[in-house]
Amino acid sequence: MQYDVIVIGGAMSGATLALALSRTANKKVAVVEAFSESLQHPGFDSRAIALSLGSIDLLRRYKLWDALSSEATPINSIDVSDRGHFAQTGFSADELNKPLLGAVVELANVGAVYREQLQRDPNIDVFCPDAIVDLVQEPQHIEAVLKSGTRLCGQLVVAADGANSKVAELINNPKSLDDFEQHALIANVELDKPHNNQAFERFTSHGPVALLPMTGKRMSLVWCMKESMLQHALSWSKTQFLEELQQEFGWRLGRFDKVGALASYPLQLHKRERLVHHRIAFVGNAAQTLHPIAGQGFNLGIRDVAGLVDVLAQHTDCGDYSCLAQFRDNREADREATCDMTSALVRIFSNDWLPMVVARNLGLAIFDIAPSIQGPVKNRSLGLV
């Protein structure tokens, strides 16, 4: 079976890549996905993610946004504060003369939309449920051997199979690991009054608390904390959980009335040593996995996808070294800057050393009144890089 590109992994990065390659570059694509139902997929679970304005523009370019927008919740303002201290900052769509700052989508809804669109696309074949077990790299092509025994032949294999990438394992592409010694506790909460499409990032002594607006009066909660606190939090009753969250966040959104199921995962920065190999490229979480502190993870991943699509559209041989080298070089600055910014924010805002507390609050105050330094940060937050 001959393809221009074989995509390993059919979650958001892999599915977006496959559909974009078909629609904008007329490439023949195979997608290999292990989970037959999107609701079982760890990439399409009960979480919600914030798409930046730049990511929305890219999804619109790939004719994907219309199918997602009906279930998306716009973000009209972002508020950033440090619990127990004076400084805070933020910005709104109106201030920046933008229609919105971004939007929140529920991954389960995204999974259903993508699955339908992948199945309908004549340029895409989906091999699901199936998984890669071996790679055969030849000078002019590459073969992906699947668990089912199927052999796919293509010009390029793209690893979009997450932080524990099987493709990386097969070619021995190691990753660096920066352990933040925190866990993310995630849940959906419901308020007693409308959220008015506001998003919040509040830094506490335990770690950042992020709240993203969802449909109705719901918000998606990401609460970062040490493992010792996580064990306590998972044992709390729902009433105690809401009381503890109220104390940490405050009353700016009114009362937290309800909380759904809880889930958690460790927070680490993973970075692959190489973005490209012979006829292989890495995108999304297979390339790097970020701390959620600034909501940059998928937005960086979709810029990986866009960078690869733009380069592949210019080449007949998608796996040619010059093609992959161009993709690698084009992504380096954005990748390094976003990873560095995310890690720095974690270190700065998870530190109770008094000089650091004073310095970060001074920094927030200066940021709020100094337009000259706001531009680069706001542009990266909006994904306009």
Chain segment 27-48, per-residue pLDDT in tens: 999 999 998 765 555 555 567 8
CA distance 130 to 39: 16
Domain housing 286: 2-72+105-176+269-347
Q: Is the pLDDT of residue 355 over 80?
A: no
Q: How confident is the model at residue 167 (pLDDT cuts 50, 70, 90)?
A: very high
Edge-to-edge strand order for the sheet containing 48-52? 48-52, 102-106, 73-75
Reply yes or no on whether the pLDDT at 95 is more than 50: yes
- With cut-offs at 50, 70 and 90, classify the pLDDT of residue 370: very low
Asked if the structure places residue 327 within a domain, the reply is yes
pLDDT given for residue 191 in this prediction: 96
Residue 309 maps to a domain: yes
Q: How far apart are CA 140 and CA 173, in angstroms?
A: 21
Q: Closest Cα to residue 223, out of 184, 273, 190? A: 184
For the ranges 77-91, 302-316, 335-349, the one whose mean pLDDT is highest: 302-316
d(CA 229, CA 323): 47
**What is the CATH number for 49?**
3.50.50.60
Q: What is the pLDDT of residue 89?
A: 61
Q: What is the pLDDT of residue 206?
A: 76
Query: Of 234-243, 305-314, 332-341, which gets the smallest average pLDDT?
Result: 332-341
Helices (H) and strands (E) in the chain, counts: 11, 20
Spatial contact of 56 and 65, defined as CB atoms under 8 Å apart: yes
Is it the case that residue 363 has pLDDT exceeding 90? Answer: no
pLDDT (average), residues 48-62: 93
Return the top range by mean pLDDT from 115-119, 208-212, 222-226. Answer: 115-119
- Whole-number percent of the chain with pLDDT over 90: 63
**Secondary structure of residue 45 in the 3-state scheme:** coil
Tokens (6 digits) for 81: 């504060």
CA distances from 207 to 72, 183, 204 (A): 27, 9, 5
Q: What is the CA radius of gyration of the chain?
A: 21
Q: Answer whether residue 208 is part of any domain.
A: no
Q: How far apart, in whole angstroms, are the C-alpha atoms of residue 54 and residue 59?
A: 9
Handedness of CA 181, 250, 382, 106 (dihedral sign): positive
- The dihedral region occupied by 97, where left means phi > 0, alpha psi between -120 and 50, and beta the remainder, is left
- The answer to whether residues 293 and 170 touch, using CB atoms and an 8 Å cutoff, is no
Look at residue 345 and tell me whether its pLDDT is greater than 90.
Answer: no
- List CB contacts of 228: < 8 A, sequence separation 6 or more: none
Q: 280: alpha, beta or left, given left = phi > 0 and alpha = psi -120 to 50?
A: beta
pLDDT score for 367: 44
For residue 149, being part of any structural domain is answered with yes
Mean pLDDT over residues 220-249, rounded?
A: 93
Sequence length of the chain is 385
pLDDT for 360: 46
* 120 domain-assigned: yes
| Strands 142-146, 132-137: pairing kind | antiparallel
Confidence band, pLDDT 50/70/90 cuts, at residue 317: very high
Which whole number is the average pLDDT over 264-271? 87
The whole model's pTM is what?
A: 0.88
Instruction: Report the pLDDT averaged over residues 326-343.
Output: 89
Q: Which residue is it, tokens 């493709």?
A: 167
Residue 323 belongs to some domain of the structure: yes
Greatest C-alpha distance within the chain: 62
Pair 49, 186: CB distance under 8 Å? no
Q: How many domains is the chain partitioned into structurally?
A: 1
Q: Which residue in 175, 210, 213 sits closest to 196, CA to CA? A: 213
Q: Is the pLDDT of residue 369 over 50?
A: no
Does 385 map to a domain? no
Confidence grade of residue 257 (pLDDT, cut at 50, 70, 90): very high
Q: Mean pLDDT in the chain?
A: 86
Residue 27 inside a domain? The answer is yes
Q: Residue 37: its pLDDT value, please?
A: 65
Q: Which residue has the higher pLDDT, 160 or 295?
A: 160
128: Cβ contacts below 8 Å, ≥ 6 apart: 10, 31, 32, 33, 34, 35, 36
383 vs 324, more confident: 324
- Asked if residue 145 has pLDDT above 70, the reply is yes
Assess contact for 188 and 314: CB atoms under 8 A. Answer: no
